[in-house]
Amino acid sequence: MLREFWDIRSDSEHPLRAWHAKTKQADWKTTSDVKNDYRNASFVGNNRVIFNIKGNKYRLVVIINYQHKIVYIRFVGTHNEYDKIDASTI
């Protein structure tokens, strides 16, 4: 999903790769752990977390399963595209 997005918006590739690398190494057990790594992360319920990418140009919505240490990417897009979704249910 990330690769498909940066193929369209090439300026997002480096920031998304950096997010992916950092997230892959993370050992998040709670929302506080996420906040320690990404202080601008927003939590919208149902274990959804919103990350600002490339200086807030893009939005990334994920579901985090803290118990199993799995991050599911649910959405990546522009702010305009983000405004059209319900981040808590996507």
Mean pLDDT (10-residue bins), the chain, 90 residues:
91 95 94 94 92 93 94 95 92
53 φ, ψ (degrees, to nearest 5): -115, 140
Contact predicate 31/43, CB 8 Å: yes
pLDDT value of residue 34: 96
> What is the DSSP annotation of 7-49?
HHSGGGHHHHHHHHHHHHH----SHHHHHHH-TT-EEEETTEE
What is the reported pLDDT for 45?
84
Q: Which residue has the tokens 């985090």?
A: 64
- Joined together, the tokens standing for residue 13 give 């590739």
May I ask the CATH class of domain 2-82?
Answer: alpha beta
Domain borders along the chain are 2-82
